[in-house]
A and B are shown apart, each in its own frame.
Chain A
């Protein structure tokens, strides 16, 4: 569907449409140790974009260590506070439209999470 410019868009499209990821809003505040309906979908999301390296697509609704680790990596990559909790800024970011290419490929990310922490030495030197 192509529109030449913004003024040509029908008014009914000016409202937010439901997308596959809007359901993530109900997961606000979820954290490690909980079992909440819908967490399996967010695991699928993280699997799709490379944050969960699991060949199985059968995900549970448990907020387990795998999900917490994936969430922290995601938060680091997108400059969010690495709380490991599905807080409001993280949820707002998760539902944004985005490129379908993965952020993490073969378990390796070269976004923020694949770089050394700020302040750590990036070059080893030996005194003579």
Chain B
């Protein structure tokens, strides 16, 4: 895992964060619930909580789908290529490329791939990754970590791995109710850069 330069994080008095969606996107509840699930994955392992509010302006985290140039100096490039980006704390900006073909429910999953689709992206996989950035994590070289920068075609990757959990807990500590990594995530044959087992 890694952090942004200077290790920015949400201040100690900000553990209950709010989020809101760009009203103009007109997202339906079944889309919004994907983000709820993604936030839940991070709150499960940290003391942070995430609550959706209606007021976009006052939310800590602002989520929106945009196309092309959207005035932050990082224009999107159409289908595939770059999928989304997010700002380090405490900016809270979370932008997704509106020209992607987003799949709301990537299940059923077979060996991590939901289909050999080269032009559709699992929304929850991208959401979990970008929330990692919103919390202060940078990219990781551990291939099955959430914070690995690329997402293979037709891939669904939503479970936090040990690398992600250790990183975010270094910033915020652990959720007192967190009982450890999911035992269903069996160790893979590889190892991370420190020689420690990784999960896959």
Contacts and interface: CB of A to CB of B under 8 A. Distances in A.
Contacts of A79: 141, 143
Interface string A19-31: 1110000000000
A3 B141 contact: no
Contact of B115 (A4, A6, A21, A111): A6
A66 to B, nearest CB: 21
A4 B78 contact: no
Contacts, number: 131
B129 interface: yes
B103 A99 contact: no
Main secondary structure of the interface of A (DSSP, over half): loop
Contacts of B107: 5
Given A9-B120, A114-B2, A99 B83 contact: yes
A110 B105 contact: no
Interface string A74-118: 000111000000000000010011111101011011111011001
A118 B150 contact: no
A96 B107 CA distance: 21
Main secondary structure of the interface of B (DSSP, over half): loop
A78 B114 CA distance: 23
Nearest to B105: A5
Interface residues of A, number: 36
B105 A98 contact: no
A1 B152 CA distance: 19
B81 A21 contact: yes
B164 interface: no
Interface size grouping (class) on chain B? 35 or more
A90 B103 CA distance: 27
B54 interface: no
Nearest to B30: A4
Interface string B6-42: 0000000000000000000000101100000000000
Interface string B87-110: 000000000000111111111000
Among B5, B102, B138, B139: residue with most chain A CB under 10 A: B139
Interface of B: 2-5, 28, 30-31, 74, 76-86, 99-107, 114-121, 123, 126, 129-130, 133, 138-141, 143, 149-153, 193, 195
Interface of A: 1-6, 9, 13-17, 19-21, 77-79, 93, 96-101, 103, 105-106, 108-112, 114-115, 118
